[in-house]
Homo-oligomer: A and B are copies of this chain.
């Protein structure tokens, strides 16, 4: 195990910042475009000053209304950044998009909202900006 000490006995710091964003009344065209959603992820990485661990990964999700779902089709995208991630799921015909921007480094939440509003042209955004990992130990509790 090589355990040095219990995490409770080490100074604790906050691990990261997580923005939770739900957008309503988005324009159909950008929410339905792989190119636009790809660029949105790139722009969010840039505006937050984060570092990609992979290029953005995108899939098209087909409608699941016939299976009793509530999705009439859209795009899901994801990019792994150093230690955390940015995700987006759009539902073009509903005008809905739901995003998460989670980073271990602080970033400006207003810059994130500006990029999203400009890209998706949404009428309304619900947003929450929360701290994650409030008991993150400042030092390692194990040795290699």
Does A109 interact with chain B (Cβ within 8 Å)? no
Do A57 and B59 form a contact, CB below 8 Å, given A24-B135, A140-B93, A144-B93? Answer: no
- Check: A42 CB closer than 8 A to any chain B CB: no
Complex Cα distance A83/B91, Å? Answer: 9
Question: Which residue of A1, A123, A144 has the most chain B CB atoms within 10 A of its CB atom?
Answer: A144
> Which residue numbers of A lie inside 8 Å of B, CB to CB?
1-3, 6-8, 13, 15-16, 18, 20, 22, 24-25, 27-29, 53-54, 57, 59, 61, 64, 69-72, 74, 76, 78, 80, 82-85, 87, 89, 91-96, 98, 100, 102, 104-105, 123-124, 126, 130, 132-144
Residue from B69, B85, B95 within 8 A of A137 (CB atoms): B95
Q: Beyond A6-B123, A8-B25: 6 further Cβ-contacts under 8 Å?
A: A7-B123, A16-B98, A71-B82, A72-B140, A84-B98, A93-B142
